[in-house]
Amino acid sequence: VFPPTSRSLTFITHRSWRSEREEPAAPPHRFQRGDLLEVPRTLFTHFGIYLGDDRVAHLIPDILPVLTADRRLIQEMVTNTRLLLGVLSKRASIRVDSVEDFAYGAGILLIHMDPSAQGMKVARGGELLLGSVSYSLLWNNCEHFVTYCRYGSAQSLQTEQFCEWLKSLIRNQSNILLVALLGLLSVMYLGLSFSTVLPTVLIPFTMWMAS
């Protein structure tokens, strides 16, 4: 949905993206159209664009649009079950919810508009993208949506942090030995077969070549 950008642009965008993080937000009536809102969740941070009149545009995984065309049902607040099934099916919606429904009981952080961005343009960009979209935890999530609307380039600091963690995990050769050992134990326990030998050899080999 959102075009990729070069690595150099990623660095520049993320440096300013970090520097704009702010304190807990003011009441909704003090939000400005085009402000970016951030909601800390258990495993990730959710982002949205304030549109005015207590409305927030945000990208959220949702299975329901795949199952029904009933807009009344779809517009109801996305439950955790709908969200999880949306992640697994790689389907999402860019939708408009109230500030309260967007926050889902969590505190909201306000990311102030930087001087180079225009709030009305950011909000309008979010409105133009409303509808069903494909979802990827790493390549097309809520942070990609808001950074694309603000900067014209889809970026996700959360994705980069996860990838860095994954790379450090793979580069640790003790983890490769541990995976190989677990594979051998599975062969000993489950027996020698194609389904046990292949992952026992392939996974450690792939990790070794990637390290």
Would you kindly state where each structural domain of the chain is located, as residue ranges? Answer: 7-155, 172-210
pLDDT at 97: 95
**Across-strand partners of 58?**
95
pLDDT at 21: 52
pLDDT at 204: 74
Record the pTM. Answer: 0.69
Tell me which residues are annotated as active site.
142
pLDDT in tens, 22-63: 555 555 557 889 999 999 887 788 999 999 999 999 999 999
For range 97-113, the mean pLDDT: 86
Q: What is the DSSP letter of 36?
A: E
For range 128-157, the mean pLDDT: 91
Pick one of 3.40.50.720, 3.90.1720.10, 3.40.50.620, 3.40.50.2300 as the CATH number of 7-155: 3.90.1720.10
pLDDT at 181: 83
Q: Are 144 and 58 in contact (CB under 8 A)?
A: no
Q: Edge-to-edge strand order for the sheet containing 109-111?
A: 109-111, 36-40, 45-52, 55-61, 91-98, 131-134
Question: Could you tell me what percent of the chain has a pLDDT over 70?
Answer: 81
